[in-house]
């Protein structure tokens, strides 16, 4: 069930590899028996995605296959959902859905008005203008535009067609955010990508409301360039200064007479 984020565990370092910036993830939807890990080193103009057979293989750096994307990526805001990789095409506002099974692009679509090429990145830069996320309810895109003065926009996205279904303007300036992730329809934003970061802001899409929060977040290696929630495993995946790190999350469940909220 869904709940409100109340705590984040101490970090667990899975591996130290790659450059300072990058992205790594497991599928957010497949059965737990599928433990493949995807690895995308760098934030700029990359096309090489490594698919490891299991977490143990990822830790040892063995037993992987390579996917070469037809279009290069920008940033580190990629996500794997139900066998497809969702990413931002380099030097554009285009969202791409790449299917690993067929090794082909199944959909691509412009996110109208979304900033790109470091127009509205997170505070660390790195072409992180467009960030894809998955929670218990499906696929989201997080970005900013000139129309909303650079504040974070959260959009529900159809995972098949990449059509935007609905959008919310959070009012939070994206360039002031360290990173962000979404749990149960709530966008959580850190106030920095450096040491001393905390989860500072939460925007609830179900009520179009926000609150300021103070949830400690131990940034062990002092430079986060990717932060994503996996609803299947209920953990946060992080790329932190060349380290691949996970955190467990604590969710508070409220039950009322009308049922669980």
* pLDDT at 209 > cutoff 70: yes
72 within 8 A of 57, measured Cβ to Cβ: no
Please write the tens of the pLDDT for every residue from 155-182: 999 999 999 999 999 999 999 999 999 9
Task: Note the pLDDT of residue 85.
Answer: 98
pLDDT per residue over 89-135, tens digit each? 999 999 999 999 999 999 999 999 999 999 999 999 999 999 999 99
Instruction: Find all residues with CB under 8 Å of 186, minimum gap 6, and list them.
Output: 4, 5, 202, 203, 204, 205
d(C-alpha 159, C-alpha 144), whole Å? 20
pLDDT-based confidence at residue 256 (cuts at 50, 70, 90): very low
Q: What does the buried/exposed string (b/e) look like for 181-215 if buried means 16 or more CB atoms within 10 Å of the residue's CB?
A: bbbbbbbbbbbbbeeebbbbbbbbbeeeebeebeb
The pLDDT of residue 30 is 85
pLDDT at 33: 83
Q: pLDDT tens digits for 42-51?
A: 999 999 999 9
Structure tokens at 170: 């959070």
pLDDT tens-digit readout, 233-242: 999 999 999 9
DSSP three-state, residue 188: strand
Who's near 44: CB < 8 A, 6+ residues apart? 74, 90, 126, 127
- Convert the pLDDT of each residue in 131-150 to its tens digit: 999 999 999 999 999 999 99
Q: What stretches of 179-220 adopt beta strand conformation (E)?
A: 180-183, 186-190, 198-204, 209-216
Q: Average pLDDT, whole number, for the chain?
A: 95
Report pLDDT for 31. Answer: 82
List the helix and strand counts (H, then E) for the chain.
1, 22
CB burial string 116-131: b at 16+ within 10 A, e below = beebbbbbbebbbbbb
* pTM for the structure as a whole: 0.96
What pLDDT score does 254 carry?
66
Number of Cβ within 10 Å of residue 236's Cβ equals 23
Average pLDDT score over residue span 62-69: 97
List domains and CATH numbers for the chain.
4-252 (2.120.10.30)
Q: How wide is the angle at C-alpha 18 spanned by C-alphas 12 and 22, nearest 5°?
A: 75
């Amino acid at each position: 069930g869904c709940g409100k984020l109340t705590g984040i565990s101490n970090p667990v370092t899975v591996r130290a590899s790659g450059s300072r910036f990058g992205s790594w993830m497991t599928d957010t939807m497949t059965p737990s028996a599928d433990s493949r890990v995807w690895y995308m080193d760098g934030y700029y103009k990359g096309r090489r995605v490594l698919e490891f057979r299991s977490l143990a293989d990822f830790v040892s750096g063995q037993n992987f296959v390579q996917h070469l994307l037809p279009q290069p990526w920008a940033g580190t805001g990629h996500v794997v959902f139900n066998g497809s990789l969702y990413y931002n095409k380099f030097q554009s506002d285009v969202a791409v859905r790449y299917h690993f099974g067929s090794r082909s692009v199944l959909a691509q679509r412009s996110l109208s008005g979304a900033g790109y090429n470091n127009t509205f990145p997170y505070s660390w830069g790195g072409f992180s203008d467009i960030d894809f996320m998955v929670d218990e309810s499906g696929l989201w895109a997080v970005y900013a535009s000139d129309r909303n003065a650079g504040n974070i926009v959260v959009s529900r996205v159809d995972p098949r067609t990449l059509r935007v279904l609905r959008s919310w303007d959070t009012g939070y300036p994206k360039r002031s955010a360290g990173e962000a992730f979404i749990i149960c329809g709530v966008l959580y934003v850190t106030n920095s990508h450096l040491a001393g970061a905390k989860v500072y802001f939460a925007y609830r899409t179900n009520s179009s409301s926000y609150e300021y929060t103070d949830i400690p977040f131990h940034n062990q290696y002092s430079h986060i360039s990717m932060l994503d929630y996996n609803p299947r495993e209920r953990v946060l995946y992080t790329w932190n200064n060349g380290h691949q790190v996970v955190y467990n999350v604590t969710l508070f469940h409220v039950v009322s007479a009308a049922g669980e909220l």
